[in-house]
Amino acid sequence: MTTYDNDNIFAKILRGELPAHKVYEDDDILAFLDIFPLSEGHTLVIPKAPSRNLLDIDPDTLCTLMRGVQKVALGVKEALEADGIQIRQYNEAPAGQEVFHTHFHVIPVKEGQRPGPRPSDMAPQEQLAAVAGKIRAALGSGLNT
């Protein structure tokens, strides 16, 4: 088992060292848009406490995180007028994990559409900002980013 790296991208976002289009934040979790969205509104939900993934996260932290995942999923569904939501979560590199701070993907899906493939370029900042604003409004999160 490898250890938690304090310099992973999401740890830097949590410390404010890297920017993110935040949609929800409380004492325990942060949600922000994925910059390579598989569908418009693709959001990542992370705990503030450090862990690599589902395999080493404290169970109580996981329960708190899952409450947040549900809350964010409802906001994303409303904001994007989605017909469904995919939740994805990967554990360690062989299973597809790329960023080693626990996170859940919240991916809105419309009737007749399939998420993906992953875009080769980052989504335009203005587009991400507009989508984040819609999700924040749906969540009433009061974040001012």
What are the residues binding ligand 5GP (CB under 6 A)?
9, 20, 32-36, 90, 96-99
The amino acid at 95:
A
Other Cβ atoms less than 10 A from the Cβ of 61: the count is 17
Closest approach of ligand 5GP to the CB of residue 59, in Å = 20
- Relative to beta strand 104-109, strand 84-88 is antiparallel
Q: Which of 21, 42, 101, 103 is catalytic?
A: 103
In the complex, least distance from residue 53 CB atom to ligand 5GP, rounded to whole angstroms: 9
| Of 111, 132, 101, nearest in space to 37 by CA | 132
Quote the least distance from Cβ 141 to ligand 5GP, whole Å: 17
- The tokens 């994990």 sit on which residue? 97
Give catalytic status of residue 103 as yes or no. yes
- Alpha-carbon distance of 107 to 87, in angstroms, equals 6
Q: Which is nearer to ligand 5GP, 111 or 121 (CB)?
A: 121
Closest CB to ligand 5GP: residue number: 36
Q: Report the catalytic residues.
A: 103
